A and B are shown apart, each in its own frame.
Chain A
Amino acid sequence: MLWRGLENEPSLFVFSFKSMSVMSKDDSKMDSVKYGLLKLIDVSGFKVFDPVVRLCFREEPGKQVGEIVRYMVIPIIFVAFCIGAWAVIAPRHKTKAGRVPDPSQVLSALSVNHTLHVRENEKEADFNALDSRREDRIASVEVTLKEKETEEVELKKKLAEVEVACQAEIDQRLAPLNARLEKLRTSHKEAADARKSEIVTLSEKVVAETAAEDELTALMASDVKLKDEAKEKEKRVKELIEDVKSNPPKNLKRTQLAYNGLAIEIAHLKKRLDYLGKSNRGEKVAVAKADLAKKEEKLKAADEPAGLLAAAKSVVRSEEKVDRIASQSYPRGTTIWFQVWRSLFTVFIGFIMAALVAIPFGIMCGLNRVVMACLTPIISIFKPVSPVVWLLIFQIVVGAFFPNPETHPFFVMMSNIPWVSSLKVNPAMVYSACTVAMCAVWPALVNTALGVSSIDQDHLNVAKVLKLGLWQRLVKIVIPSSLPLVFAGLRISLGVGWMVLIAAEALSGSEGLGKYVWDQYQNGGSMSFANIIFACFVVGIIGFFLDRMMIILQRSVSFDDGAAVV
């Protein structure tokens, strides 16, 4: 029904992907489910799945299979090839600072990070567990702990064995090298001594004037050269020795890793027991209450005025303490997923700030050449400034507004909004968001100005013919007409903002993915590099979905198909 009009004048039909996917020669039943799906795929920009849907509906299976092979299977093979190449090349590429992790390590970084998150969840649940739930948890944790401890004992034994074996192996490998080095050293020493005595005799001859002086210098020069050569040879052997030493057998590394993992898990279980035991909130409240009861008794027992006052005071204080403990929440350690949420929140705040500034100013610029002329120098000077500079500036500028963040009404307000409070809004977040906004504002501003100033003359003529007032013209013509470009600008802004945010967080120490990457870098552990690459994927994938989201928005406001180029 949508396309009936087109059938009249098929040749006039503007060819586009969107229409191609819907316009089929198959004039049989229009399957609404199918077209709904296709439309969804099209709007969200995942057009690679188009043939899959068609294939499911048996539409020209041959052609669809062809498409799938061309646009899905081949790319998948290509990506697989890239990963394969990575897996092959990575272990071979090492610097002294570390080695490039292979895909499996990055994958394990995902699981490690997720485990950390799960453990935090467990501890939080333990902290809040009460009564029978708490006892159940204690029982189960104790059982696992016991298992793990027996395991640990065995593994420790095994590790010791492996260490001995490896040491033996290393020694075995080192013995010939050491011998070679020793041999080289003695032979070099002998040669050097021989040359030295030769020089001595020659110099005596020179003194006695039976030999020329240049002969002596030549001999000296050759001596230096030979010495260097000898040193070079020794150095090579030394390097070999170093190499053996710094590359312990894989077996050892594996056992060590396994043991470390187990040790960490045991520590975690013990910590859990602590949170289920004396650090449990319920327990702490109980202790505080017992204390309060004791104080209350003392109050009753007190008979002289001074003591009574003191006792009353301490009762009040204890009551306060009970309340305070009861309202405590678990101090969660930061985990990757928390950081993802916080980064997303920050980028959206920054993005919204950017949009709120960019759109009105962009419209003003587009409408009025004087405004444009006024803003052009500002835009052109500040646009290329690096986010790092903005961050430093905002640290000072924004910091001045929050002399005491703890009690500042803004942050108090933020900590009262249910979901937001868990993200811990703080000044660092505010200035990260400001940096994002500052860098994201330009594409949106420029695009909005462009969108407004390049409105189709026809549309303006319509406004003229209808004699629309300024406000009407703005609302009815200018804004709707420039929306596609505005959204294209916003899309770029969001992309820029996301990129900037990571840098800003790394620098400002505002919790988020950027800080995660920076912390990993600072850790310098063996897993750090894998974690950084893992974070790189997380950032990339989130960036991808943000972009998709903006495409969907952009498409929903764009009236011509050409504007939303994927």
Chain B
Amino acid sequence: MRVTNAMFIKPKCALFCAGTNCTCLFFKQPINENEKLHLTYMFCFALAAFNGRVTSNRKNASIINALVWGLRINAFRLLICFSLKSSEEPSILSAKSTLKKPFLFLLVLCVVLTGANLASGVEPVASPDDMPELELEKDSLKFGFIKLTDCAPLVIAKEKGFFDEEGLQVEVTPQPNWKQLLDNVINGELDGAHMLSGQPIAATIGFGTKAHIITAFTMDLNGNGITVSNDVWGKMVENDPSLDSPTPKHPITADSLQNVVQEKMDAGEKLQMGMVFPVSTHNYEIRYWLASAGIHPGMYTSEDIKGITDAQVELSVTPPPQMPSTLEAGIISGYCVGEPWNQQAVVKNIGVPVTTNYDIWKNNPEKVFGVTKAWADENPDTHVAVIKALIRAGKWLDETDASGKLVNREEACRILSQPNYVGADFEVIRNSMTGFFVFQKTDKREMPDFNVFFKYQCTYPWYSDGVWFLTQMRRWGQIPEAKPADWYATTAEEVYKPAIYLDAAKRLLAEGKIEQGDVPWDTDGYRPPTSDFIDGLMFDGKKPIEYLNSHAIGNKD
């Protein structure tokens, strides 16, 4: 990254120098080297005041971001020198200097612009005419999804015509499994897909299939649950009598599972549990849940790609739809999966969902919309159009009435229950999508945030989300070697592309489709540190190593 930065900064500096020269020519003034340097700084500072405009350019956004920061610092250095009246530096203001006038002009401009920016606190809203119209490179697209309720934004964007309004003809097709889905995106069969948050990251760093996948849209928060078989639940209740109630107190930790695990190990076996993919959120969540109670879920090593080294509970990959039947067959005793497969267990009376990932990590990112870097580079405007439609779909899904009731979810469930989408029964999908979650037949709870598609500015591609997944990959050994803290940041920046998101959001804002407060316009991409975890640890995306080291179980650097 640093190398790339250096490579880019040089030509950009040259550009700015050229700009300065032009300014000088405009004032028809001769110019010496020292003056040129100062003027360049000033010019840059003026430019930095426009940084909103600069960052909105999605191409090389991160690079320009870094550059602008560099320029800001230099400009401040200059200002400080100026105020200190250092003898050699700001000769430009001496009466002799012929550049006094242009310098002062630029200075005033900077102050005014910066002041205006600070005063409004936000970017100036551009009118639709200001934006260059999107030139769709490709208007007929094919997206893949896995039959889970959190594919909703894709399906809704199609069914509610949001893609249509962007001039896109979109086909969405279910994929047999996550691996196939990723392969199809990589080989170009699909233009993009509903992906596990871990997938673009893992693909980019080369765990599993290596390919540079990026994402500019987070599809939803939460939405997973951990279900255990009736048998295990019975034993958990035995271990912790407080659970023996129609509505036990939540969150339920894995503490009461410890004895079950120990019993199994005494019998020479290991408790088996299922998750959906090695780099899925489910894998990290169930590991987190188990580890928070001191149960070791096993490590990945370069030899052990199943991740069962030292395991007290062995986790294995089972595709979501097979979860209930595998549980019923006794092959696994519990699983972590998205909806509707936890509700299915309740309906079929084969297991008890004990906790949701909302309890494990409040408002954790779940799925993203991923495309290959190559595709995004080839179709930048189409990409923006797609993200626009998805943002609108997310907003539609989370629309509430005055009383805070989700108004469109019922319709969304109808659409999702069609056989070519999720296809599960409407009643089953409705169980979790309309703000409730059924833990047991007797225990239907209100969980308005079980599926979040737009609230909490969740569709923004946060770098900190990427960092969290990277820390988990490192924690469980999927990343075999220790990495420095800035590696986490740069890797997250390679995968998460907020610039594209912001471009789309800005257009939507200009069109009046979303509101100012829906999007974190001025963030650096890191959410504020949070300790909303089941074990109460503090996660700060900027301090990945500290976070990693705070866990009792798992790799430490």
Contacts and interface: CB of A to CB of B under 8 A. Distances in A.
Q: Do chains A and B touch in the complex (CB under 8 A)?
A: yes
A426 B171 contact: no
A166 to B, nearest CB: 14
Contacts of A331: 140, 169-171
B181 to A, nearest CB: 8
A267 interface: yes
B419 A246 contact: no
Interface stretch (B86-94, B111-119, B183-191, B210-218): B183-191
A427 B417 CA distance: 29
B349 A242 contact: yes
A431 to B, nearest CB: 11
A96 B427 CA distance: 17
Nearest to B187: A399
Contacts of B136: 324
A199 interface: no
A274 B320 CA distance: 34
Contact of A522 (B147, B184, B348): B147
A279 B164 contact: yes
Given A264-B414, A267-B414, A427-B189, A525 B184 contact: no
Interface residues of B, number: 51
B133 A509 contact: no
B419 A96 contact: no
A531 B324 CA distance: 19
Contact of A260 (B175, B184, B187, B426): B426
A405 B180 contact: no
Given A263-B426, A509-B175, 7 more contacts: A328-B140, A402-B187, A509-B174, A522-B321, A523-B147, A524-B340, A525-B423
Contacts of A404: 188
A334 B161 contact: no
Contacts of B349: 96, 242, 246
A525 B324 CA distance: 13
Contacts of B159: 271
Interface in B136-159: 136, 139-140, 147, 159
A476 to B, nearest CB: 48
Interface in B336-357: 340-341, 344, 347-350
A21 interface: no
Contact of B174 (A95, A314, A522): A522
B255 to A, nearest CB: 23
B418 A264 contact: yes
Contacts, number: 122
Contact of A395 (B135, B183, B348): B183
Interface in A497-534: 506-509, 511, 515, 518-528, 531
A406 B185 CA distance: 12
B167 A325 contact: yes
Nearest to B135: A317
B425 interface: yes
Nearest to A428: B189
Interface string B404-427: 000000010011011110111111
Contacts of A531: 419
Contact of B169 (A95, A256, A321, A328): A328
B96 interface: no
Contacts of B348: 96-98
Interface of A: 95-98, 116, 242, 245-246, 256, 260, 263-264, 267, 271, 274, 278-279, 314, 317, 321, 324-325, 328-329, 331, 333-334, 395, 399, 402-406, 426-428, 506-509, 511, 515, 518-528, 531
Interface of B: 133, 135-136, 139-140, 147, 159, 161, 164, 167, 169-171, 173-176, 180, 183-184, 187-189, 319-321, 324-325, 328, 340-341, 344, 347-350, 411, 414-415, 417-420, 422-428, 441
A406 B190 CA distance: 10
Given A271-B159, A506-B176, A519-B174, A256 B344 contact: no
Contacts of A395: 183
B324 A97 contact: yes
A242 B414 CA distance: 28
A95 B328 contact: yes
A258 B341 CA distance: 25
Of all A-B residue pairs in the complex, the 5 with the closest CB atoms, nearest first, are A523-B423, A522-B321, A509-B176, A96-B348, A522-B147
Given A267-B415, A395-B183, A522 B423 contact: yes
Contact of B173 (A279, A334, A508, A518): A334
B3 to A, nearest CB: 28
Contacts of B319: 522
B133 A524 contact: no
B328 A96 contact: yes
A528 B188 contact: no
B123 to A, nearest CB: 24
B188 A406 contact: yes
B167 A321 contact: yes
A518 B319 CA distance: 12
Given A314-B133, A405-B187, A525 B417 contact: yes
Nearest to B160: A274
A267 B418 CA distance: 11
Contacts of A245: 441
A321 B135 CA distance: 9
A334 B420 contact: yes
A495 B236 CA distance: 52
Contacts of B422: 523
Contacts of B324: 97, 524
A402 B186 CA distance: 11
14 contacts: A260-B426, A263-B426, A278-B164, A279-B164, A395-B183, A404-B188, A405-B187, A509-B173, A515-B176, A520-B423, A523-B147, A524-B423, A525-B428, A528-B423
Contacts of A260: 417, 426
